[in-house]
Structure 1
Amino acid sequence: MEDEHLCVRCSCLGRTCCQWSEVYVTPGDVDRIAEHLERSDFYEYREPSDSDYAAQDDDPAWQHYVFQPDGMRRVLKRRHGGDCTMLGPSGCRLPWEVRPLVCRIYPYDYDEIGIKPQLLHGCPVHLLKPGQSLITLLDMNVDAARRWHRQLYEEIRLETTADVDRVDLRPAC
């Protein structure tokens, strides 16, 4: 088991990010996934199951664009046990370039300003061997995460519930 990929070892410990996360999908994510799946019944609008998540105010742009006035936001559907409907026996069934942007960025933490220096807590870093880096082991790089981050915030601004006349949340050029 020690030679298996970290995500496989993580799944043996219990629920993974693909099983406990409510994955927000941007309008662009919806288009990419719908084109790949040739259907559009993979998402729904729901309130966050974690009220603390909905109450966070550390990213005003996220709050303004992602959440509708009734507190709902567009997320991937989940199966009865909580698994993401895109989760297959060997991981995500979507090709990397089709996956939701928030999934591609994970485990990087971020806000509208950019990628934060600390990673999100969720990956079982205690399973890393001495000297191993989580980002290296996951074959990720910060430049790709920054690119996806820019794309994510461009796409959340496409949300139709946003008040387009508000300029206070737009980044300075």
Structure 2
Amino acid sequence: MSVPQGSVCARCPGLLGKSCCEPRNGEHLAMVTRADMERIHAHTGLAVHRFTHREGLTDLEAQEYEGQWPLYRGYFRKGPVRVTLAERRGACIFFAPATGCTLPAEVRPVACRLYPFEQWADGSWSVAVGRYGDLALARQEGGACLGVEEASSMEALLAMFGTTRETVEALGARLAEEARAHGRG
């Protein structure tokens, strides 16, 4: 088996057809917090409404979302409105097909920096393979995240993204804090 060449994120669109920055029908781009919006605005100078999309949810949908994704608990406290990155031409407004995200890592939404890792409702960490539910099934079914497709273990996946469990957990804690603050207004 040959060793994959280049960043997993840079290779993804060519090998899987779309990147996580190019949502398929029914999928959403990353949810953003007020802190994310402030960082992006400060870096780009763009008004927040130019790079975000607001979507109203029912109270039940918001409650179910927070129940399923614990890092977002408190996000909907001020109302059931999901704020995501905006799409342009089928991709995130900050996505460049040849190079990927145009935002520096420290400016990107925390959810983007955390992807493909997520915390489940029981507090355990896994990979964001919502279509499939676990690493083995995502690899078997295809079309998830190229890193998930290529990694042989969670440790290999962490290495592919140049991160550690500790860094992922710290980003998760940051996202949880920013989501709570988002809900406070």
CA contact (8 A) 1:23 1:102 kept: yes
Q: 1:61 to 1:127 in 2, by over 3 A?
A: closer
Q: 2:34 aligns with which of 15, 27, 40?
A: 27
Q: 1:87 to 1:66 in 2, by over 3 A?
A: farther
CA contact (8 A) 2:71 2:175 kept: no
Unpaired stretches in structure 2, ≥5 consecutive residues: 130-143
1:27-106 superposed matches below 5 A: 27-40=34-47, 41-47=50-56, 55-56=64-65, 57-59=67-69, 62=72, 64-66=74-76, 69=79, 71-81=80-90, 83-88=91-96, 89-106=98-115
Matched to 1:27, the amino acid is R
Alpha-carbon distance in 1 for matches of 2:39, 2:121 = 22
Greater share of helix: 2
Specify the alignment match of 2:164 in structure 1.
141
CA shift, 1:86, in A, is 0.8
CA shift, 1:129, in A, is 7.4
Does residue 153 in structure 1 map to residue 157 in structure 2? no
After TM superposition, the score normalised by the length of structure 2 is 0.69
Q: 2:5 aligns with which of 3, 6, 24?
A: 3
Alpha-carbon distance in 1 for matches of 2:19, 2:42 = 27
Unpaired stretches in structure 1, ≥5 consecutive residues: 163-173
Does residue 120 in structure 1 map to residue 128 in structure 2? yes
Alpha-carbon distance in 2 for matches of 1:73, 1:158 = 14
Question: Runs of at least 4 residues of structure 1 off by over 6 A?
Answer: none
Specify the alignment match of 1:17 in structure 2.
20
Alpha-carbon distance in 1 for matches of 2:151, 2:69 = 31
Alpha-carbon distance in 2 for matches of 1:7, 1:60 = 26
Please give the secondary structure, in 1, of the residue aligned with 2:168. helix
Q: 1:59 to 1:129 in 2, by over 3 A?
A: closer
CA contact (8 A) 1:62 1:112 kept: no
CA contact (8 A) 1:23 1:75 kept: yes
Alpha-carbon distance in 1 for matches of 2:68, 2:46 = 35
Matched to 1:14, the amino acid is G
Alpha-carbon distance in 2 for matches of 1:67, 1:11 = 36
Alpha-carbon distance in 1 for matches of 2:86, 2:149 = 30
After TM superposition, the score normalised by the length of structure 1 is 0.74
Aligned length: 157
Alpha-carbon distance in 2 for matches of 1:107, 1:59 = 14
**What is the RMSD of the two structures over their aligned residues, measured on CA atoms?**
3.2
